[in-house]
Structure 1
Amino acid sequence: MSRPPADRADRAVPVVEAPRVEHHREPLGIGERAPRLSWRIVSAPEGWRQTAYRVNVERDGATTSHESQDPDQGTEQGADQVLVAWPGRPLGSRDVAVVRVAVRGADGAWSAPSPPTTLEAGLLDPADWVARPVGATLNENPNTDDRRPSILRKEFEVRAGLVRARLYATAHGLQEAEINGRRVGADTLAPGWTVYGERLRYATHDVTELLETGANAIGAWLGDGWYRGRLGWRGGFRNVYGDDQSFLAQLELVYADGGREVVPTDWSWRSAPSPILRSGIYDGEDHDARAEQPGWSRAGFDDSAWDGVQERRRDPATLVAPTGPPVRVTQELRPVRLLTGPSGSRILDFGQNLVGRVRMRVSGPAGTTVTLRTAEVLQDGEICTRPLRAARSADIYTLAGRPVEEWEPRFTYHGFRYVEVSGWPGGPGGLDDDVAAGALVARVLHTDLERTGWFTSSDPLLNRLHENVVWSMRGNFVDLPTDCPQRDERIGWTGDLQVFAPTASTLFDVSGMLSGWLRDLAVEQLPDGTVPWFVPVIPAVDKWTPMRPGAAWGDAATLVPWTLYERFGDEGVLRAQFDSARRWVDLVDRLAGPSRLWDTGFQLGDWLDPAAPPEDPADARTDRYLVATAYFARSARTVARMAEVLGLDAEHASYAALADEVAAAFEGAYVAGDGRMSSDAPTAYALALRFGLITDPVLREAAASRLAELVRQADNRIATGFVGTPLVSDALSADGHLDTAYDLLLERDCPSWLYQVEQGATTVWERWDSLLPDGTVNPGQMTSFNHYALGAVADWMHRVVAGLAPDAPGYRRIRFAPRPGGGLTHAAARHLTPYGETSVSWRTEGGELRVEAVVPIGATAVLDLPGAAAEELAPGTHRRTAPLPP
C-alpha cells in the first residue's frame, strides 16, 4: 500500500479511525457499487484542520490511491471527511476491498494511515443468483393460521483448501439457517419486511468457520412472518405477498487454488414438518419439542423419510442488499417480581415494557405444556389483554422430556412487561425457585442501530421520560418504524415516523434503516403522488382503503429525507427521494388549486388530541384543513430546499414561489389581524409559528403570546395531538416563552408527559391517558402503552434544555445554546456525530451558569448563552461561565 510521507518524530500528528462505509455498521455484502466513505479524526494538535486526505484501497492485489487537490487549488474538497466519493473503479459482485485513510493538515504533515476497514460487495447482478426458492410440497389450507412450517436440509462436500465461504440467504416468509448444527449469524426475523414484490432483502454471512473438510450439512427453519402470515385489523389478511413459504440461498465456497463452488437451494433439498406447529407475528408460536429431530442440520443425518421440495417462482431482479442493520437480540432482562393474581395465576413482572420474547429453561415430563401469555399492563391484578385486540400474543411449548430443555420462539415477537406462566412443571420449589435461578428471561430485540444520543438532568422524572422515549423507539424500530409492537397492527405509519424522525435521528443512527424504508415509500406511492398512510401497504378496512392523500402522513415523503440530510449530511438521500417528494407536493398543489388552501378531502388532522373523543381520535380542536394547508406550505418549502442542495435551480425557484403563495394563503385564511388563529388551539399556533407561516413580527409575537396563554389556561396540561406535540415546545421557547415551555414539560397532572411517568410508565403511551388516573385502562380501541410519536419532545430536550443541536447538515457546525429553566440545576447531552462525539453540560452555581462544550475535530461550533454574544468555537473542550439570567 502507498503510504503518506513520514513525519518528523517530534511533530504531533492526527489519529484517524477506521473509515466507515456508507451507513453500514458491518460492510459485509453491501449493495453499493461505489460506496461513500467517512472517517473520524479522534485526536490532533490544537488548531489542526484537515486540508487534504488520501484514500488507499487494496483490491485484487492492487492499490488505488485517491488524494484530494492541493490546498492551494481546492481547500474545500480537502476538508471533506463525511460520505466522500469512492475512489477508482466501482465494485463488482463479491469484490473485497481493504480501505485506509490518511489526512494532512495545513503544516503539510500526514497522519499515519488509519486502521483498515474491510468491505465486501454482495451479489450485485441478478445473473449472480443461480438458486431457486424451495419449500415443502405439503398440501395445506392457505387461508388459516394453522399452517405448520417446514424445515429444509441438504448435505454437500467441502474439499481441502477452503479459504472463504459466504451464505447469501433470504426467504418468502422468515428464515433461520444452520450449518453443521450451528446457527448462522445472530439476525432474527430475517429478511424483515419490505415491499417484497419489488425489494426482497438478502443477507450475507461469513460461514467459513462453520464448515469442515469433507461432509457438511446446511438446514433452514421457516416461518410465515409478514410475507404470508396474518396482517392487519379485525382478523387481518393472510397471504398478502404470496401463499408459499420458501428458502432462497446460495452457499459459495472459494478455495486456495482459485476454484469456486456453489451450493444453491434447488430440487435436491429435502423437507420435513417443523416442530413449530404454528407461528405468527401477532399470535406467537407453538412448539412441540417431541417432534424435534436431533442432528437434522448435521452431516450423516438419515433424511430418507423426508420429502422432496417444490421450487417456487424466482425473480432475482427484486433481490437487494440491506442498507441498515438487521434485527437482533440486544439485551436480556430477568424478572423483578413474581406475582400471584386473584385467580391464582402466576405472573412475571420484568419491570420494563419491552419488545422481544421470553427464553425458558425447563425440566418436566414429556407432553407437559407451558403457556406464556404477554401483556403490557395489569388490571385488577391480572394481565390485561384487551389492548391487544385480536392478537393472541402467546407462546406454547410442549416438553420432550429431556433432563433440561431450553427454548425461545423464532418467528414472532411481543410487546410486554408482564408474562402469565401456566403449566410450569418446575422442581420442588416450583416456579418461584426457577425464576430466581434465571429460568425465564426476556430477550429484547429490535433493529440493531448504533446509539448516538444521550441526555440527563437534575430531575429524575425527566430522565425517566427520556429513557421511556428510548425504550419506545427500540421497541418500535423492528425492521421498520412501527406504531405499536403488541396488538394486531404493528405497521409503518408514515405520520408517526414523520413527527418522530428528528428524535429518532438524535437517539440512534437511523440513516441506513430509514433510507431503505423511504425506498419502499417511493415504491408504494401511487402514480398520482399519493403517499400511503402506512408503508409497506397492506389490505385494510374502513377509512384506510382506498388510499387517499392525508396531511402530516403523506408529508413523510418530504420531511423524513430532509431530516436525514440535516442530521447525517447525506445529499444522496435527497437525490434518491426528490422525485417522490416532488410528486407529493405536486399532488397537493392540484388538490388545493388556485386558492392554495388544501381544504377538501379526508384528513386525520391533529390525531389523538386529548380533547378528541375515544371513538373519533381525529376530532381535534384544530381545524384539520388548517393542518393540511400548513403542511402543504412546509413541504413545498422543503422541496425547494432539496432542489437548492441538489443544484436544481429551476425547481428551487418554482417550489419556493409555491411555498410563498401557500404561506400567504394560510395567513389570510387562518390568522386574524390581532394574531388570533381561526382555531384558537395550541396546535394551530404551533404550526403557524414553527412552519414560518406568520411573517409579520407583531402578529407573530401576538400569536406566541396567545399560545402561552392557552397553555397557562389549561394549567400546563397537554392540549395537542400527534401533529402539535412535536412543535409546541419549540413554538414557545423560540418565541419568548421558555418558562411556559418548561411548565408544560414538567407538569404532572393528566394529560402530560410526566403524568405517564408518575403512573409508572416505562415507555411512551399512544394516548396521553392510556392509563386513567384511577388506574384502569382507557376504554378506547387504540390503547397502546408503547408508541413513540408523543415522545418527539425528546429532541427538544436535547436541543433546548441541554442545548445541543446541528447548525449545519451532519453536525459539521454545532450549536450549543442551553436554555436553563424549570428549576433544573444541571443538564447535559452528548451526541455521536459523523465527525465524532460532541457534548454539552451546564449547571447553575451561585447565580452563575457554568457550561462545558466539546467540539469534535472536523466540525466547528457556535456557543450561544443567554444574555451573551454568540461565540465561535474551534475543535476541543471549552468552558465558560456567564451570569444566570433572571
Structure 2
Amino acid sequence: MSSTVPHLVIDAPYRSDVVASSTPEIGWRTETDTTGWLQASAELELTRGGETSTHRIDGRAATRVAWPFAPLAPREAVSLRVRVTGEDGHAGEWSAPRQVVAGFLGEGEWQATPIGLASPAETAQPAYLRTEFDVTGPVARATLYATAVGVYQAAIGGVDVDDQVMKPGWTPYPQRLIHETTDVTALLAPGRNAIGVRLAGAWATESFGFRDNARPLYADQPRFAAQLLIEYVDGSHEWVRTDASWRAATGPITASGLYAGEDHDARLALVDASGRGFAEAGFDAAEWMPAAEADAIPTPEARVSPFVRRLDELAVREVITTPAGKTVVDFGQNLVGRLRIRVAGPAGTVVTLRHAEVLEHGELGTRPLRAAAATDHYTLSGEGVEVWEPEFTFHGFRYAEIEGWPGEFDPSAVTAVVIHSDMERTGWFEASDPLVNQLHENIVWGLRGNFLYLPTDCPQRDERLGWTGDIQVFAPTASFLYDVRGFLDSWLRDLALEQADGVVPFVVPNVLGEARPAAAWGDAATIVPWVLHERYADVATIERQYDSMKAWADVLIDLAGPRRLWEGMFQFGDWLDPDAPPEQAAKAKTDADIVASAYLFRSVDAVARAAALLGDQEAARDYAAVAEEVRAAFLAEYVTPAGRMMSDAQTAYALAIMFDIAPAEQQEALGARLAELTRLSGYRIGTGFVGTPIIQDALTRTGHLETARRLLVQTENPSWLYPVTMGATTIWERWDSMLPDGTINPGEMTSFNHYALGAIGDWLHRVVAGLAPDAPGYARLRIEPHPLHGFDSASAEHLTPYGTARSGWSRDGDVVRVTATVPPNTTAVVALPDGRSLEVGSGVHEWATVDAAPPASSSRIGLDSTLAAVIDDPEAYQTIGAALEAADPEAAHAFRTITRWSDGRELGEALFMFAGPDVQRAIAERLADLSARRESGATIAADA
C-alpha cells in the first residue's frame, strides 16, 4: 500500500510554533506516491492538558482550515497532529505532532511601563537598561513579552534571548505596536538573575521627509517596555515588569540611526571590575541612574509577521584601490545588512566603514544616498582581537570603503552580513538564457533587501519607506518567490490604520504627512488582499480588509463623480517611464488620467468581487454596476472604435487589455497596436511602474509572444537586461540608473535596489514556465508553458499550500517536451503549446509537442529594406550598428535610440540622418555580404 503522510502547517510566523490568535488557521501538505490522489477526509487530533480530542473534516479542505477546537488560552501549549484518508479509502499515517503555543497576552495582562534614559545628552541617544530579580523556586516556564518604540535586544544572564534583529520592527507606533513572545525558561537560574536591554531609536527617532521637510515623527528618544512572567512548578507565578525601578545608562553604542549609521566605542564596554556584563546578576551599577518612565504606548499585540534575522554571509570578492587611493571592498552582490569586522590595534583607533551600491568612475558612488551617510565607526578598545557588527542599523550596499584599519588590511577579516525578514523560500525559476537567469536572481535579491519588516521602496538612501505602489505591482511576484502571506497581512493591517477618510497614503506607515489619493498607489488596499487570496486561498485577510477596500473604492467613486472618470488630479501616473526626464519621473507617455481611470475600474471591480466572496450580495451588485459604468466611460473617452488609445503608448494599451476593460472583440486590435508600438521602439521597453508588470501579459494574451520574447531579451537601454549587462545584481529603480559610460543617472532619485520593475518575474513564472494558480491557493493549477524561440528550456517550481508544483519545458529541434508535477490533493488544467487541453490529477506528467521554429529572416537585406524588416532581423541590425559604431559612435547611438522602426520607411532614407555617403556605402557592402552568405547557405541546404 502506498504511504501517505501529511505535514502540518500552522498560521504562525515562519519557523515558529508561537501563534498570535486563539483560533489559528491550520493546513497540511500531503506526501504520497499515489497518482491522482485526492483527500476524502482528515482527522485532527489535539492534545491539551493531558487530554485528547479529535475533529473530522470531510472533503478536500487542507489549507487555511478554521480552528475546530476550543480557543487557546494565553500561553497555552497544545500538540496537534493530522491523518488523512484518500478517496481510494486508504488512511495515511499520522503526521508528526506539532506544538502550538499561544503567544498573545490575556485581557488586561499588559501592565508594563515604557522606560528610557532620564537625561539623554543627544536626540535618539542609544540606551542600556537593566534590572535584577530573584527566582525563588523551580521554574516550569518563563515567558518574556517585550516591545519598543525603537529597536532593542534583551539578554538574561548575559545571553541574548533570541537571534532576531531590529525587533520589533516598524509599525504606526501610536496606533499599533508589536510585542515579541520569547520562551526564556532555559536562561533563568535559581536565585538572583538580571535582564539587560540594548536600545536604539531606528525608525522611531529617524527624520522622515524630503530635503528641508525631514523631521522626527514619532519620538525624540527610544523607549522600551517588557514584562517577564515566571511560572513556578508549584503553580505560583510572578511578573517582572519595566518601571522606574529599572536602571539606565549610556554605553558603547554612542550614536545610531538608520540613515546615518552606527558609532561604537569599545572602550565604553559595560563590564564591571569583576568582569560581569551589565546583563548579569551582581553587576556593579552604582553609577547607573534610575530609568525614566516614558510616554504611554498602545497595548502591543502579538507578532503575525516573520522575524528579521541574519540569513546569509558574503566574503569579500575583491579589494580595490580607487583612483583617490581609498581601500574599497567588493562583495559581488548588492545586499542589505551590515559588515562584521575582526580587527586588532591600539586603543582609540577608529575604523570607518562607508557603504554604497555602486562605484562611479572607480570611486564609491554615494550621491544616490542623498542625506544618508551610511557610515559606521568602530573605536577599538585595544584588547586583543575585537569582533564587531553594528546592531541597530542596516545599509544597502555592494561596496564598502574601509578607512583607519590598523596595520595591513586583511579582507578575510570583513564579512557582509545579510539581514531580512525570515520568510520561507517557495519559488524558483530557471531558463537556458544566462542573462534571464541573472535577471531573475536580481529580482530575488531585490525582494530580500526590501522585505525587512515591511515592503520598502529601497534600502539604502534617506527613504526606505513602505511605498504602496511598489508592493501593489510586485505582490504577485513576491508571493511566488517567498511565503509572504504573514508579512503582507501584517502590513495591510497598518495600511487600514493609516487610511484617512478612506484615502490610502503614499507610504505605510505614513511618515509623509497628509494623504492624497493616487492611482496604482492607493489601490494596494484592494489589490494586495486579492493577491493573497489568489495565491494562499486567504479569505481571512479579505474579510478583515473589506472595510478598508470599500473605503478606498468609495473615495474613488466620489472623485470620479457622474462622469465615472478619475481626471485632472495629482497622480504619479506611469511613474519612471523611460522617456521621462530625470527630474520629472511622472512625465510619462501615457496620460495620467488614463492610468487613474483604469485603476478606478480595477479597484471598484475588486471590491465587487470581494463582496461576492464574503456573501455581501447587495454590495456586490452595487459595486459591479459602478464598475460597468466606469468601463463604458473609459471606452468612450479613451478608446476609439478601431482600437487606438488616446495615449498611443504601451502602458495605455496594456491597461485596457489586462484590466479587462476592453471587450474581447476589441482586444485583438489593441494588442496589434501594442505589438506595433513595441517594434517601432526597437523592442525597447517604454513603460514605467504601472505598465511594466502587465505589458508582457498583454502581448501574450493577444497573440504576440514573439514580440514579448524580443522585449525580454533586449539588452539595449531601456530594457530588463540592460542593467544585467552593466553588472547589476538587483533590480534598479530606473531603467538607466547607471548610464552606459558608468555615470550614475543625474536624477536625484536613483536607486540600484528597487524591486518594482522586477514585477516581470510573475510573467516568467506563469507564462514562460507555465505555472499558475487556476483556483485560490493552487487547489487547481494551470500548466500552460510558452516555449520561447531561441531558448532551449525554462522551468519553475513553487511550494504551494498543498506541496511542490513544477512546470517546465525543454526543446530538442522542433519537439518540445513539457513536464509538470502536480501536488497531492490538487488537479491541474493543462494547455499545451500545440493547442491540446486536458485535466490531470496529482503526480508527475510529461507530454511531447511540436513547436516549429519561426521562418528565417529574409535572405536579402539592403538599403531598400524597410526599417521594420531591419529591426526584425537581429543579424542585419547588428551589422548596421557595428558599421556606424566604427565610423561615429554618437551617430550609432542616435540611430539605435531615435529611429522609428516602421514598415513605411526604407533603411537608406533613415541612414541619411546618421551617415555620410562613405558610411552608407560601407553599410550597403556589409549587408550585401550578409545577403550573399545567406543565399549561399540556402542554396547549399537546398542541394543537400
TM-score (norm 2): 0.88
What is the distance in 1 between the residues matched to 2:322 and 2:3? 65
* 2:295 aligns with one of 293, 299, 313: 313
Q: CA deviation at 1:254?
A: 1.9
Note if 1:155 corresponds to 2:132. yes
Aligned to 1:266: 243
Aligned to 2:269: 292
What is the distance in 2 between the residues matched to 1:316 and 1:674? 58
What is the distance in 2 between the residues matched to 1:777 and 1:477? 25
Deviation string 1:45-72 (CA, Å, 9 cap, x unpaired) is: 3343211111111122222311125xxx
What is the distance in 1 between the residues matched to 2:349 and 2:323? 24
Note if 1:40 corresponds to 2:29. yes
> Which protein shows a greater Rg?
2
Note if 1:457 corresponds to 2:431. yes
The aligned amino acid for 2:597 is T
Equivalences, count: 848
Task: Report runs of 4+ in structure 1 exceeding 6 Å deviation.
Answer: none
Note if 1:775 corresponds to 2:775. no
What is the distance in 2 between the residues matched to 1:259 and 1:20? 33
The aligned amino acid for 1:158 is V
The aligned amino acid for 1:32 is S
What is the distance in 2 between the residues matched to 1:148 and 1:323? 29
Aligned to 2:224: 247
Note if 1:492 corresponds to 2:466. yes
Contact 2:566–2:593 (CA<8 Å) still a contact in 1?
yes
Aligned to 1:55: 44
The aligned amino acid for 2:4 is P
- What is the correspondence of 1:264-663 to structure 2 with a 5 Å cutoff? 264-294=241-271, 295-315=277-297, 317=299, 319-426=300-407, 430-431=408-409, 434-435=410-411, 438-527=412-501, 529-538=502-511, 540=512, 546-663=514-631
* 2:184 aligns with one of 202, 207, 211: 207
Q: CA deviation at 1:44?
A: 4.8
Q: CA deviation at 1:108?
A: 3.7
Contact 1:129–1:316 (CA<8 Å) still a contact in 2?
no
The aligned amino acid for 1:494 is T
Q: CA deviation at 1:441?
A: 0.2
Aligned to 2:5: 15
Aligned to 2:67: 86
SS at match of 1:861: strand
SS at match of 1:137: coil
SS at match of 1:591: helix
Aligned to 1:196: 173
Q: CA deviation at 1:274?
A: 2.1
The aligned amino acid for 2:458 is C
The aligned amino acid for 2:810 is R
Contact 2:353–2:403 (CA<8 Å) still a contact in 1?
yes
Q: CA deviation at 1:163?
A: 2.5
* 1:124 aligns with one of 105, 128, 138: 105
Q: CA deviation at 1:126?
A: 4.6
Contact 2:129–2:196 (CA<8 Å) still a contact in 1?
yes
Q: CA deviation at 1:104?
A: 1.5
The aligned amino acid for 1:802 is A
The aligned amino acid for 2:598 is A
The aligned amino acid for 1:187 is Q
Contact 2:129–2:248 (CA<8 Å) still a contact in 1?
yes
Identity %: 51
What is the distance in 1 between the residues matched to 2:304 and 2:570? 34
Contact 1:134–1:248 (CA<8 Å) still a contact in 2?
yes
TM-score (norm 1): 0.94
Q: CA deviation at 1:28?
A: 4.3
Deviation string 1:178-226 (CA, Å, 9 cap, x unpaired) is: 1111112111111100011111001111212222222221100000111
Aligned to 1:858: 825
Contact 2:21–2:104 (CA<8 Å) still a contact in 1?
no
> Given the superposition, is the C-alpha separation of residues 880 and 728 from structure 1 closer, same or farther in structure 2, using an over 3 Å criterion?
same
Note if 1:702 corresponds to 2:691. no
SS at match of 1:114: coil
Note if 1:735 corresponds to 2:708. no
Aligned to 1:685: 653
Q: CA deviation at 1:312?
A: 2.1
Contact 1:765–1:788 (CA<8 Å) still a contact in 2?
yes
What is the distance in 1 between the residues matched to 2:521 and 2:774? 27
Higher mean alpha-carbon deviation, 227-236 vs 323-332, is at 227-236
What is the distance in 2 between the residues matched to 1:203 and 1:506? 28
Aligned to 1:73: none
The aligned amino acid for 1:823 is G
Contact 2:14–2:422 (CA<8 Å) still a contact in 1?
no
Contact 1:746–1:822 (CA<8 Å) still a contact in 2?
no
Note if 1:793 corresponds to 2:767. no
Deviation string 1:394-429 (CA, Å, 9 cap, x unpaired) is: 000000001011110111000000000000003xxx
Structure 1 unaligned residues grouped into runs of 5+: 1-10, 70-77
Note if 1:745 corresponds to 2:702. no
SS at match of 1:621: coil
The aligned amino acid for 1:59 is R
Structure 2 unaligned residues grouped into runs of 5+: 272-276, 854-944
* 1:168 aligns with one of 132, 142, 145: 145
What is the distance in 2 between the residues matched to 1:504 and 1:689? 23
SS at match of 1:471: helix
Aligned to 2:865: none
* 1:676 aligns with one of 644, 652, 670: 644
* 1:813 aligns with one of 746, 762, 780: 780
Aligned to 2:83: 102
Q: CA deviation at 1:13?
A: 4.3
Q: CA deviation at 1:651?
A: 1.2
The aligned amino acid for 1:252 is L
Q: CA deviation at 1:657?
A: 1.2
SS at match of 1:512: helix
Contact 1:221–1:274 (CA<8 Å) still a contact in 2?
no
SS at match of 1:68: strand
Aligned to 1:24: 13
What is the distance in 1 between the residues matched to 2:816 and 2:595? 39
Aligned to 1:115: 96
SS at match of 1:85: coil
The aligned amino acid for 2:38 is R
Q: CA deviation at 1:29?
A: 4.1
Contact 2:10–2:17 (CA<8 Å) still a contact in 1?
no
Deviation string 1:237-272 (CA, Å, 9 cap, x unpaired) is: 444122342221111222222222222112221111
Aligned to 2:837: 870
Q: What's the RMSD between the two structures over aligned residues? A: 1.4
What is the distance in 2 between the residues matched to 1:593 and 1:328? 48
What is the distance in 2 between the residues matched to 1:380 and 1:630? 43
* 2:813 aligns with one of 830, 840, 846: 846
